[in-house]
């Protein structure tokens, strides 16, 4: 997660105003904070898939999935303004909108998922889901993918290898290699991945740790974006259930129409999770998150442990979340995500045929990974070239970043309102960056 970070020693000469703001920031903010890019961007305004800096320059946002229906969508802004002018309090009082939204949200999911609880962040949602899974199973062991990111609480940070080696994983956590069809080249990715999960369940048991949960996002976004083939996760989930564990679908990134073909990422695999977690994209960036659950899985925790999250599910954040659902439906953003995302993948694959720097292009809807490699025959990651591409795009006022164990996969996940014109602008900038690199 530290790959595309500003480092003063390699920044070169910065504009005076930028340098001063960085200096002030470093003086007052904690040292763990990071900035993007060799020349950081000072943003002051957003609209749709566009961000504007302090000088009025228009940047194309191909990275911010949190502003899921577009920066400052007027409908979300208006709903938030109206509610904050009326009331903002917590869920220990009755409030019609919270119940209505819970019913609406659950209506988008399989019928077995019939309960929902609200928090403020995805970290909190994953933290609670793991606790629920452990209470239900009586186990503590959790399996995650090798580059997963599931949050920054004390519990979830120990289940987030993407935070780096300075953050130890819990002794009850095991990791599995990501289902990378580009490099694994197995005829049955589902069987291959299920076998990896089974191996780690066995390793937990060998060390006297009872298995509780497999926690994964269905597009393996931090691992490098691995959405296909649809359905490959099903065999692994069968292994999880046979071992007495539960499947926690982390939908913070692939959920809410992001993958286009389905409303939820897990639906592409034909599975029904036991627990589903959601984060700030559900409220277009407002502090709201949720955990949906099967009532039988939630029972052991809910019957024994009171849970209270002071402003989790507050009326203002719920108003934003309800507006997001309305916008997704009324503007057909799931269909739009599928159409524009499919077009983006096709155009990027055409560029890959001309530029060996691109080893693979993969994605679902408006969540796409572009694998930058030193040699397409071997798939050797080229993180230096990937960062150069990111910086080249930034210089052309197009914003994105990287992911994957090699820090070499361009992560393209723009707001769902990303238009055909936005796509043309991105492709023009990307083509220009590729052509400018030495062959």
Compute the distance between CA of residue 60 and CA of residue 46 in angstroms, rounded to an integer: 10
The CB density around residue 287, as the number of other CB atoms within 10 Å, is 17
CATH for 207: 3.40.640.10
On whether residue 67 sits in a domain, the answer given is no
Same domain? For 211 and 95 the reply is yes
Compute the distance between CA of residue 287 and CA of residue 317 in angstroms, rounded to an integer: 6
Same domain? For 357 and 291 the reply is no
For 79, 83, 306, the CA distances from 310, given in Å and listed in that order, are 21, 18, 13
Report how many helices (DSSP H) and strands (DSSP E) the chain contains, helices first: 13, 16
Compute the distance between CA of residue 248 and CA of residue 390 in angstroms, rounded to an integer: 32
Which residues form the domain of 29?
Answer: 1-38
Same domain? For 186 and 266 the reply is yes
Say how many domains are in the chain: 3
Of 330, 349, 374, the last residue of a domain is 330
For the chain, 439 residues long, give each residue's pLDDT as a single digit of tens: 557 677 776 667 888 888 888 888 888 887 878 888 888 889 999 999 999 999 999 999 999 999 999 999 999 999 999 999 999 998 889 999 999 999 999 999 999 999 999 999 999 999 999 999 999 999 999 999 999 999 999 999 999 999 887 789 999 999 999 999 999 989 999 999 999 999 999 999 999 999 999 999 999 999 999 999 999 999 999 999 999 999 999 999 999 999 999 999 999 999 999 999 999 999 999 999 999 999 999 999 998 988 888 899 999 999 999 999 999 999 999 999 999 999 999 999 999 999 999 999 999 999 999 999 999 888 999 999 999 999 999 999 999 999 999 999 999 999 999 999 999 999 999 999 999 987 6
Same domain? For 369 and 403 the reply is yes
On whether residue 310 sits in a domain, the answer given is yes
Give pTM, 2 decimals. 0.94
Same domain? For 199 and 316 the reply is yes
Which H or E element spans position 315?
A: helix 315-330
Burial of 297 (0-12, 13-18, 19+ CB in 10 A): buried
Same domain? For 261 and 342 the reply is no
The CB density around residue 438, as the number of other CB atoms within 10 Å, is 3
- Record the tokens describing residue 74, joined without a space: 């007027």
Compute the distance between CA of residue 391 and CA of residue 303 in angstroms, rounded to an integer: 52
Q: Is 24 within 8 Å of 392 (Cβ atoms)?
A: no
């Amino acid at each position: 997660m530290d790959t595309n970070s500003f480092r003063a020693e390699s920044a070169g000469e910065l504009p005076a105003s930028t340098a001063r703001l960085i200096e002030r920031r470093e003086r007052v903010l904690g040292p763990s904070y990071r900035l993007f890019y060799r020349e950081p961007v000072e943003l002051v305004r957003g609209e749709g898939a566009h961000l504007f800096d302090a000088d009025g320059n228009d940047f194309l946002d191909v990275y911010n999935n949190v502003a899921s229906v577009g920066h400052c969508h007027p409908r979300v802004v208006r709903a938030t303004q109206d509610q904050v002018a009326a009331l903002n309090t917590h869920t220990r009082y009755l409030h019609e909108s919270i119940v209505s939204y819970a019913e609406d949200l659950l209506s988008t999911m399989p019928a077995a998922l019939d309960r929902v609880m609200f928090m403020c962040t995805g970290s909190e949602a994953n933290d609670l889901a793991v606790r629920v899974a452990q209470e239900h199973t009586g186990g503590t062991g959790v399996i995650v993918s090798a580059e997963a990111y599931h949050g920054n609480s004390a519990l979830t940070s120990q289940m987030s290898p993407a935070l780096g080696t300075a953050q130890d994983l819990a002794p009850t956590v095991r990791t599995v290699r990501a289902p990378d069809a580009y490099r694994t080249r197995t005829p049955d990715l589902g069987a291959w991945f299920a076998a990896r999960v089974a191996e780690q369940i066995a390793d937990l048991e060998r060390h006297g740790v009872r298995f509780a949960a497999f926690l994964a996002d269905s597009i393996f976004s931090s691992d490098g974006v691995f959405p296909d083939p649809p359905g490959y996760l099903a065999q692994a989930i069968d292994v999880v259930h046979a071992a007495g564990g539960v499947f926690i679908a982390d939908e913070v990134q692939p959920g809410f129409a992001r993958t286009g073909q389905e409303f939820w990422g897990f639906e592409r695999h034909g599975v029904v999770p036991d627990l589903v977690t959601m984060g700030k994209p559900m409220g277009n960036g407002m502090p709201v998150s949720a955990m949906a659950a099967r009532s039988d899985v939630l029972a052991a925790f809910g019957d024994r442990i009171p849970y209270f999250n002071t402003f989790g599910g507050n009326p203002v954040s719920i108003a934003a979340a309800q507006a997001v659902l309305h916008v997704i439906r009324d503007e057909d953003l799931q269909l739009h995500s599928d159409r524009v995302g499919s077009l983006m993948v096709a155009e990027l694959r055409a560029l890959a045929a001309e530029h060996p720097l691109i080893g693979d292009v993969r994605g679902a809807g408006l969540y796409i990974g572009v694998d930058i490699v030193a040699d397409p025959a071997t798939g050797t990651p080229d993180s230096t070239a990937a960062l150069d591409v990111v910086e080249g795009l930034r210089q052309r006022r197009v914003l994105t970043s990287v992911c994957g164990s090699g820090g070499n996969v361009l992560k393209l996940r723009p707001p769902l309102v990303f238009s055909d014109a936005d796509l043309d602008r991105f492709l023009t900038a990307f083509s220009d960056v590729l052509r400018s690199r030495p062959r």
